[in-house]
Structures are given as structure tokens and as C-alpha cells.
Amino acid sequence: MKKELPKVYEPQEAEARIYRMWEENGCFEGHRDPDKKPFTIVMPPPNVTGQLHMGHAMDCTLQDILTRFKRMQGYAALWVPGTDHAGIATQIKVEEELRKNEGLSRYDLGREKFLERVWDWKHKYGNRIVEQQKKLGASCDWSRARFTMDEGLSNAVRHVFVSLYKKGLIYKGSRIINWCPHCVTALSDAEVEYKDKPGHLWHLKYPIKGEPGRYVIVATTRPETMLGDTGVAVNPKDERYQDLIGKTCILPLMDREIPIVADEYVDLEFGTGCVKMTPAHDPNDFEVGLRHNLESIRVLDDNGRINQNGGKYEGLDRYEARKVILADLEALGLLEKVEDHQHNVGTCYRCGTDVEPIISAQWFVKMEPLAREALRVVNEGEVKFVPDRFSKIYTNWMENVHDWCISRQLWWGHRIPAWTCEECGHITVSESDPTECEHCHSKHIKQEDDVLDTWFSSALWPFSTLGWPDENSEDYKYFYPTDVLVTGYDIIFFWVARMIFSGCEHTGKPPFHTVFIHGLVRDDKGRKMSKSLGNGIDPLEMADQYGADALRFNLITGNSPGNDMRFYTERCEAMRNFANKIWNASRFLMMNLTIDKCELPAQLELEDKWILSKLNRVIPEVTENMERYELGVAAQKVYDFIWDAYCDWYIELTKTRLQGEDEDSKVRAQQVLCYVLTETLKLLHPFMPFITEEIWQALPHEGDYLMLQQWPEHHVSLDFPEEEKAMELIMDAIRAIRARRAEMNVPPSKKAQLTISTLERSVFEQGIPFLKRLAYASDVKIVEATDEVEAQGMVVVTTHAARLYLPLAELVDLEKEKARVQKELDKNRKELDKLETKLQNPGFVNKAPAQVVEAERERADKLRALLVKLEESMASLS
């Protein structure tokens, strides 16, 4: 029974209903099928604290497009969703609520009670972003949704930690690490964002011991760290300081004697050529300190305050201490000078606080052995980046990677599975909780308080979510390695690199064969969306206002791999108009539909062959673009075919048949209209899943859901190159005539005889019905190109295949039209004369802003072009 489509498409009602239908009927589930190839994507797990933003919407849309495409191609498609426990972000969120609502800290509750609060928070709010993803149409297998602290994933984390520890690839040691005084935890190198900030270079005088009046002058951007100085270094090639090497100087304010050492690390050109050495607070100084046996004295505590090693400055915040120290140095005459200095400052990727390098006992992963295989699989093409330029960024980082600090001073997360013996000091590392020291068997053992870096668990995501480390897991054996990772370029180091080396090390295989990198979604001015700028756009608001399909299509059209895109709200409106165009075209077909099966007729008209041939050509092009991850190009081709070829042309070309008396021709037109629309809906479905499913359900069809239909394929039998070329010649003529009539302000209701002079007589004879209807011809006469046509009083329109003659007198009142065109000519000539006089005036050209002058020049060029057209019109009227 034929289903009617409502007059207006209401996405807010339809989208929720359709998604519920898909989900309730298991359309998203990924099943192992020995007769199918698997296609697997794992979702980059959003933070459990997350609120869907435009970057999430972009990422979600790209993954959904690929998954729907591969599902329709016949793959056993699985898109694994999930969320990340987000150690720092979640703990901070819960601590803030605790402090605000109850005036308590986590220490007031204790570790166990605090973690209960975090789990409560997770159960209450952690599903929010999942529901938001569903509104966008995400076709994930939600029955497989994972959380990085699920039991299975937690077991995988312990297994990996123990495995790496036993191989000597995890160790505990005191090294310089990045420390956030606000989050009060260590950070890895990848978690530090460097920002160019204005600052100062302070030149300080350190007195030479035993040489009154002589000083070494050091330059520093962080004078508060001088309290922990244990040496001064100069370059051994620096002739200025040869006699000072081996001597000592006095550290001002602390009155501590420190050595002057020679080390090639010192840049002769920077500052004074003398560098203060603070091994406990600078990674380079730490390395110099190791070479010269310099003492490490830490002078900052975990909250960024001066500690007991800072003498009278103890308790001051690092920046308060800086002011006091500089004032004291100036009072002693030891502040030589101050220079403005722009420098890169490391900031915490979570809170933006300036990071402090400090020496601290932490857990590390040795990266050099792991990086070798991770580099090989990319260099040899086992893992490809799209676009390829990001492979160079990845390679450069991996070749210079430092050991990864994996311990965090948090309570929320995977607690490090290491127990220290309080009697012999031995560390026992175990997958299960031990009851005694494995070395001396003492029962007095204490587990590490720290947890693992969040990225440690998410590095295992592509295989831990599929059942690993159980090598016999059927899902793991069938769906791993996964196929494509879709992610932004901003987490190549955070996550992508770590997944690659983790997959290679623990499974013996790279975790995916392709890394599809997308850019950031910026605002319409090209700025990064942020809370501070207040320029964020809520994707859910866009979806509510325009429909999720319109939002998705906006995000994908014009998008190219790896490049940032600007988000224009107006384009959502344009894409909603596109959805309405498809809806109205479908309603037109439904109102004219008498058939109950969408299949092609045996006999085809010229226009049928044209549209089928065009569709047959666009199918492999779109498929190839999709396979190459050129999703924006693919979307644009589908858009152009629907809007231009199907809606604006083919529907119009068939109206004469649909409204005619020939029942056979009418049915054939319906069959082709229905077939082409159905195949086109399949092409469009990955991009706009909701409206395509809604329309398809109303059309005659086999099967239950469009999303499970077979992807369109090219059919040689539907290639009609000659007919396609012929139809294009007729369409060129129609376009040319309509354009000329529009120039002459001739209304469509005013028809005139059309004479066509052409070498393609047989082609244009087939096009007579279309020329009459669409080129507003009262009659059409076709003559050979060699025949002479009386051109007097005719408007002549030329295409590359024909000359088209229209009797001028039948179209316009010649005298009135001449008067109108002459009036336009006079008005625009006068305007151009004024502009040219202005542009020849040196006073204006030299004094007006450059952009104003340029705008006036552009206006003059446009007026000249308009005058040319008006003169051509006047010539044709004469």
C-alpha cells in the first residue's frame, strides 16, 4: 500500500523515531560472519565528563559515514563506542562539587569514600554524551559500549603494566618531569601545550669567590628557581670565561658556594653566555648536573610554593617569590638589567596553568625500544596517514620521543599495581593483589598511591575493547586489527602514537591500517571555538533547529582530510533547504506513483538513458572518493546530482509524460524516477541517514531498512554515452535560450517560434518536446547548418552545437525595450564617469585607505562589464 509523505518534513519528530526503530531492531549490531570481511572502527572515547561540542560532532559524523558506507558494501561492520574515565578532568569535577556543596576535600572523605562518589557521579552523568551522539545518528553497536575502567579493560591495563615491567620497559626513577601545580600531578611531555608569552630576561650578578668586585652575570626567565641553583655553566670554547672554569661563585640570597663548570650545552650567543644550573627544576640543567655531579635541590613544593629549601622565602607562591627575590637582588645591587623577552611557556593541557619542570620520583615507560617498531610500520606503509603529511609529523615525534611519565598523583584511575615492601624495600608488581613481598615474604607491603596516566589505558583501546588479552576471544580474532582510526591532528602524540606502539608490542600487529586525520571546526572568523571567546556553537542546538542531517551535511561538504574548516550557521539553513528539495521531489514522485515495484523498464526514452547514464557515472566516482576518504568531495557529487540532474532537470523532463495520455510512457517514467531516487538515496544515506530512511520507507522497496541495503554499483548495461551527450546538447540549448530571455526580461508565459540551425538535426528533433516546454517555444523548426536562415529581426543565441533563432518582435516591444536598455546605459555610463574621475584624482588615491580605493576600482570594473552586456543587448535589439 502506497505511503503518503507529509507536506513538510519535520526532522525533530522523524529523527528520534527513526533512530529508535534502528536501535530497537538491532541494525547497528556488528556480528561475526565468516562469509563477510570485517570492518572495524573504534570510537575515540570522549571523556566521561564530556558535553558534545562541534569537534565531537565532526568526528562522530565522519566515523558514522564510513561505517554506514562499509555496512552497505556488505562488510561485517562494527563501530565500537565507549567513554574514557578522564582521570584529571573527572577528579577535578567531583572535587569541585564536593567543595561547593559540602565544603569538603577528597582527603576529608578518604580514598575509598571519594572513589565511591566518583563512581556515583559517573553513573549519574557519564551517559550524557552517549545520548547526544545518538541524536546525530551514530550507528554504533551500543551493546558493546565500553568504559576504560570496565573490569575487562582494567585487567588489560594490569596485564600490560606487568608485562612491560618484567621486560624492563617500565621503571621507577627520579627524573625531571612536567608538574601542574593546579592539578597537583605529573604530566607527560605530550600533555604540555607551549604558548608564546611575553616575559622578561633578568640578568643577575653572582659574585666570584675570592675576587671582590668580579661577577658572572647569568640571564634567566625564572629568577625564583635561583634558590635551587647548584652551579653555573659556561661553554668551554668561550674565551671570555676560560679563567673562571673550575672556580666557584656565591649564590646570592642563599650565600651558597657553587662551582663554575664548562659544558657544550651552553649557547655562546644567548644571554651572557653564563647559565645558572638548577638541576631539580630544568631538564637541560638536570642532564648537565649528571655530567658534572651537581647537587639537585628542589625549592618548589607540589602547589608551586617555595619549600623549606628556599630559606626566608618559604611559603611564598612562585610568582610572589619572584617579585620579592627581584626586589632583594636590586637592593643588593645584584640585578644587572631587565630585557623584554618573548618565550614559549609550557602550560597544562587541562587547566592552562604554567607547568613547572621538577625532579620527582615517578614511573616511566622506556620509549626508544617501543618506538622502533612503531616507526617501521608507518615508514613501510603498514599504517597510512590520510593525509600523508601527518606521517612526517608522527615520524619526527617518534624519532625524538622521551621516556613517557605514566604516573599521576590522583585517586581516580587505574592504581599502579606495584607494592613496596616496608622491610626490604623490594617492589612487587603483579596482576593480582599480592599478600606478601615476593622477595622477603614480609606481609608489610604497601601499594603505590599513584594512578596511571589516562592515556595508558586508552592506548590499549583498539584491542582491549575486543576481548584482549584473551587471545581466544572470538571478537578479537575476527575484528582485530581494526581498519580506520578517525581522529583530529591534535591528539596524534597523546593517543595515536601510543596506540600504534602498544598494538605492535602487545598484539604483534598495528592496531589499524589507516589513520584518517581531520582538522578542527573553527568559527566563521577562523578562530578556535573556546569558552573564553564565547564563540562555541552547540551542535545539538543546530540539530534541533535545522535537523541532524543538515548539521552533518554542513560539517562534511567542503571538508577535506587534515584541514580545519569554518562553521557557518547559514550553511545549516542551506543544507536544510537541500533536505526540503529532496523531500519535495520525493513527494512529487509519490503523488504520481501508480507502480508497486521499483525496477527499470525494458524500453527507455532519451531522457531516461541520460539520467541513468549520469547516475551510473557518479556511482563509481562517489565510491572511489569514499574509499580514498575524500568524503567532502563525495558528498558534493551526490548533492550536485540530486539538486541539478534529478530535481532541476530529470523531474522537469518527465512531467510531460507523467501528465500525458500515453499510459505505457507514464509508467516507464515512474519506474525510472523511482529507480534513480532509490539508488540516489542509498548514495546519500551515509551523509544524511534520517531523511533518506524516511523517504525510502515510503517508496516501493524490498527489505526492512535502507541502512542495510546494498551500496549502488556500476552497471555496464546502463552506460549510454551517446544518449547522454545528445541530451546535454538539448539542455545546453534550453539553458542558453532561458538565459537570453532573462536578459531581455521576457516572461515564461510569452512563447515564440524557435528555429534551430545545426549539424545534429536528429538529436534536436528528439528534444522538441523539451524545447517547447522548457525553452518556452510555441513551435520548433530544425534546419541543416548549411541552410540559410533569415536573421533579420531575430535574436541569435549560439551554443557549440547549434545556432538558435528567436523572432524579436514576438518577444518584446522593440521600442520600449530599446528605451529601457538605453536608460540603463546612460545611468551606468554616468556612474562610471564619476568613478573614473574619482580614481584619477591623486588626492583620493593617495589619501584614502587602500581597501577603500581597491573597492572603488572593483566597482568600476563591474560597471564596465555591465556596460558591455548592455551594449550587446542594444546591438541585438537593433
Q: Which residues 6+ apart lie within 8 Å of 82 measured at CB? A: 42, 43, 45, 145, 146, 147, 148, 461, 465
DSSP string, 154-216: HHHHHHHHHHHHHTT-EEEEEEEEEEETTTTEEE-GGGEEEEEEEEEEEEEEEEBTT-TT-EE
End-to-end C-alpha distance for the chain, whole angstroms: 61
Q: Does residue 482 come out as left (phi exceeding 0), alpha (psi in the -120 to 50 range) or beta?
A: beta
| Neighbour tally for 747: CB within 10 Å | 9
* 689 contacts 137 by C-beta, under 8 angstroms: yes
- Sorted by sequence, the CB contacts under 8 Å of residue 309 that are 6+ apart come out as 227, 228, 297, 298, 299
The DSSP result for 148-170, as a single string, is: TTSHHHHHHHHHHHHHHHHTT-E
Q: How far apart are CA 37 and CA 32, in angstroms?
A: 9
* DSSP output for 321-379: HHHHHHHHHHHTT-EEEEEEEEEEEEEETTT-PBPEEEEEEEEEE-HHHHHHHHHHHHH
The enclosing H or E element of 736 equals helix 721-743
Contact 680, 642 (CB under 8 A): yes
Cβ–Cβ < 8 Å for 856, 838: yes
Q: Are 410 and 452 in contact (CB under 8 A)?
A: no
β-sheet bridge partners, residue 78: 40
- Distance from C-alpha of 642 to C-alpha of 611, rounded to nearest angstrom: 11
Residue 531 grid cell: 569558552
Output 328-337 pairs: Cβ under 8 A, ≥24 positions apart: 328/253, 329/204, 329/223, 329/252, 329/253, 332/252, 333/205, 334/204, 334/205, 334/206, 334/207, 334/215, 334/252, 335/202, 335/203, 335/204, 335/205, 336/203, 336/204, 336/205, 336/217, 337/203
Residue 65 is inside which H or E element, if any?
helix 54-72
Q: How many CA atoms lie within 13 A of 607 on its CB side?
A: 27
Closest listed residue to residue 495, CA positions, set 453, 553, 540: 453
Extract the C-alpha cell encoding 872.
550587446
531 is in an annotated binding site: yes
Residues 856/835, Cβ–Cβ less than 8 Å: yes
Length of the chain: 878
Q: What CA–CA distance (Å, rounded) separates 502 from 202?
A: 44
Max CA distance (Å), the chain: 116
Q: Which three cell numbers stand for residue 590?
A: 509519490
Contact between 435 and 424 under an 8 Å Cβ cutoff? The reply is no
- As a whole number of angstroms, the distance between CA 46 and CA 56 comes to 8
User: What whole-number distance in Å separates Cα of residue 78 and Cα of residue 333?
Assistant: 71
CB 435 within 8 A of CB 457: no
Query: CA-to-CA distance for 476 and 485, rounded, in angstroms?
Result: 17
Q: How many CB atoms lie within 10 A of CB 530?
A: 10
Q: How far apart are CA 476 and CA 473, in angstroms?
A: 5
Phi, psi at 126, each rounded to 5°:
-65, -15
Round to whole Å and give the CA distance between 776 and 736: 12
Binding-site residue numbers for ATP are 531
Binding-site residue numbers are 531
